Amino acid sequence: MTTSASECDRTETLRSVGEDVNAPTLSAAQEVADMMRYVFFLILFLVVTVNVGSHATGDLPFKVTEMLNTQLRDKEFKAHDTQVYKCFQMITTIDELHEFLTGPFYEVVYGSDSFDADSTFPNGSTLPQRGTLGGASRIVGQVRIGQVRVRGQSCLGRMAYLSSLYDEVPTCYFDFSISRESKDPFGYEFNYTAFATRPAEPTFYSLSYNSFPAPMFAVMLPSEENVHCEAESGDYEHCEVYKSLESLRTNKFFDKATRGIFIDFALYDMHIDHVTTVRLFLEHFQGGGLSPQAEFLTYRIYCYSTTADWIQFGLSISLLFVVVYQLYCEVKAQVNKWKYFKNISNLVQLSNYFAFFAVLLFRILSSWSLPWSLSQDNFINFRSAITYYGLALNCHSFCCMLSWLKLFKFLSFIPMFGQLTRTVQQSAGKVIELLVIFFMCLLGASLAFTLGFGNLVYDYHSITASFFTLLHIVTGDIPLDELRQANRAIGPIFFMIYMFLMMFNIFIVIVSEAYSETKKEMRLLDMKMEVLSMEIVNHILHNVIFAIPFLGRYVFKPLYHRSQYATAKIAE
């Protein structure tokens, strides 16, 4: 009986030991399998990403955008319209806008200033034709010059009702909002009427973070000037488009109620098979002045026309299946689901997988938003398709950044990289605390700088502008002169306070680290000093005091030993 019981105990012990030995083996096998799956996912992801957005043409889409920036955004005004350098980006008044429309805009879009400046457009297969920019990009559909307007409302200030200032009670036109939008006809000696329905386009956000819907009022221009136009003579005989642009001034198309001005058209470059949406936008502020903004978006939105495109499509679908399988394996392998979802790195990885489905959604919306027919007699709305395509690329770029983070997990198995990854993990909490303090100081400083300099310095005209300007200061860009010129008293004071608060966080980290190192060094130094002191005392006792003739040997040495013995007894 005893032998049988001992054998059973031995068997159970061996089984438990075997399970303990096999547990790391199984865990290692799971990690290797996970790593191999993820490497396959990354390889397929790279293959799809290299050709995403049809960027196999290199930087040609960027060069199209750069050409448009040069020709429309940075083109100089005519010499007789200004005595100094001026371009679209420098427009601040309605008068300058009219000069731009009949000057650089007309010459680039309807002339040939973007190629050889020959507005006669002679025939030839290698010569640019009417309705093209840069000799290659064809204008698709009509050119639209539109606007959104606001209704006049009673002014809020008390001084607006003083008869000494105004003969009649004035009407105020505030910032744009849907509730304030006006659809009433307007114009001087001409009646501009609103569309029956608003065009279906994405909301546009200006640099001042105001949102604008598609324009309800617009003047449509053809993509080509009249072939009988005599622009060379300077009198613009038979130039219908030029006269339409001039009529915008005479008929007061832009007035005090105008809040957002849109100049829109689309281009198609047959060489790279890309569509570009051109938008020149100007925000008209209620306090006066214009803020120009140029936006050129170039994408290959008709992206399934060749065999290579369909191969790319098949690889993209395969990648989605791999993502689904990765997501399934990732979640299924976790025994404690709640603990898994509490880990920030796991949530980041899951958000990466879901971003792939966002890419698919936006690509479907982009294809669905493409115009069903193209006509040169209508304005063609590519903005919806272009916007969704751009959002898909943004999500894809998000995936590009996050897909590589999981490699740190596999690299942590290597001791050299493991120490680095563990250091990052342990310091993550303190870094977050430091960032919280940093942004609290940055937000408070943004409010202070906006109140102190918002009316005087452009970089601090709003809380958002102040936030980014102060963030630039941290990176080394220090515009102290503008602050000092705006206010010689509080300018330098605010600047020094802000720099102190920002740098103080860094000083804390540096000083605390230095304190820890110094404390270790002092502890070692104390130990060395203690050893050195004992050596000095022993040297003096044995080589000096005990070496004194007769007294050292018969008086001091016995006295020292008795005191040592008494001290030891007391300690016991």
SS3 279: strand
Are 151 and 180 in contact by the 8 Å Cβ rule? The answer is yes
Residues 475 and 561 in one domain: no
Residues 505 and 564 in one domain: no
Residues 528 and 509 in one domain: no
SS3 166: coil
Q: Which of 539, 214, 187, 217 is nearest to 382 (CA)?
A: 214
pLDDT surpasses 80 at 520: no
Residues 507 and 541 in one domain: no
Mean per-residue pLDDT for 415-439? 71
Region of poorest pLDDT, from 60-74, 133-147, 360-374, 407-421: 407-421
270, 299, 328 - which closes a domain: 299
Q: Which of 247, 262, 253, 244 is nearest to 185 (CA)?
A: 253
Residues 182 and 102 in one domain: yes
Residues 509 and 534 in one domain: no
Cα–Cα distance between 482 and 465 in angstroms, integer? 15
For residue 20, tell me if it sits in a domain.
no
pLDDT of residue 324: 87
Rg (CA), the chain: 38
Residues 243 and 276 in one domain: yes
159 exposure class (CB count in 10 Å sphere: 0-12, 13-18, 19+): exposed
- DSSP character for 542? I
Are 358 and 394 in contact by the 8 Å Cβ rule? The answer is no
Show the tokens assigned to 542.
Answer: 């044995």
- DSSP character for 181? B
Q: How far is CA 500 from CA 422, 438, 495, 514, in A?
A: 32, 12, 9, 19
Classify 189 in phi/psi space as left (phi over 0), alpha (psi -120 to 50) or beta.
left
For residue 427, tell me if it sits in a domain.
no
State the DSSP string of 59-122. THHHHHHHHHIIIIISPPPPTTT-SS---GGG--SHHHHHHHIIIIIHHHHTSSTTTT--TT--
Q: What's the mean pLDDT when you consider all of the chain?
A: 80
Residues 455 and 556 in one domain: no
pLDDT of residue 158: 83
For residue 87, tell me if it sits in a domain.
yes
For residue 465, tell me if it sits in a domain.
yes
Q: Which of 267, 289, 39, 233 is nearest to 119 (CA)?
A: 233
Residues 152 and 254 in one domain: yes
Cα–Cα distance between 566 and 572 in angstroms, integer? 10
pLDDT surpasses 90 at 429: no
pLDDT tier at 151, thresholds 50, 70, 90: very high
Show the tokens assigned to 80.
Answer: 């007789």
Are 71 and 100 in contact by the 8 Å Cβ rule? The answer is no
Residue type, 187: G
pTM of the model: 0.74
Residues 483 and 536 in one domain: no
For residue 567, tell me if it sits in a domain.
yes
pLDDT tens profile 186-244? 999 899 999 999 999 999 999 888 999 999 999 999 999 888 888 777 788 889 999 99
pLDDT tier at 12, thresholds 50, 70, 90: very low
Residues 253 and 206 in one domain: yes
Q: Could you give the number of structural domains in the chain?
A: 3
Q: Which residue has the higher pLDDT, 318 or 525?
A: 318
pLDDT tens profile 363-379? 999 999 999 888 888 99
257, 278, 299 - which closes a domain: 299
Show the tokens assigned to 220.
Answer: 């449509």
pLDDT tens profile 255-310? 999 999 999 999 999 888 899 999 999 999 998 899 999 999 999 888 888 888 88
250, 266, 299 - which closes a domain: 299
pLDDT tens profile 432-489? 777 788 788 888 888 988 888 887 887 888 888 888 888 777 766 666 666 666 566 6
pLDDT of residue 265: 95
pLDDT of residue 342: 75
Beta bridge pairs of residue 181: 150
- DSSP character for 543? I
Query: CB 472: neighbour CB atoms within 10 A?
Result: 13
Q: Which residue has the higher pLDDT, 49 or 9?
A: 49
For residue 463, tell me if it sits in a domain.
yes
Cα–Cα distance between 314 and 93 in angstroms, integer? 52
Residues 508 and 527 in one domain: no
Cα–Cα distance between 435 and 442 in angstroms, integer? 10
**Torsion angle in degrees (nearest 10) through CA of 268, 273, 274, 275:** 30
Residue type, 424: V
pLDDT tier at 29, thresholds 50, 70, 90: low
- Structural domain span for residue 132: 57-299
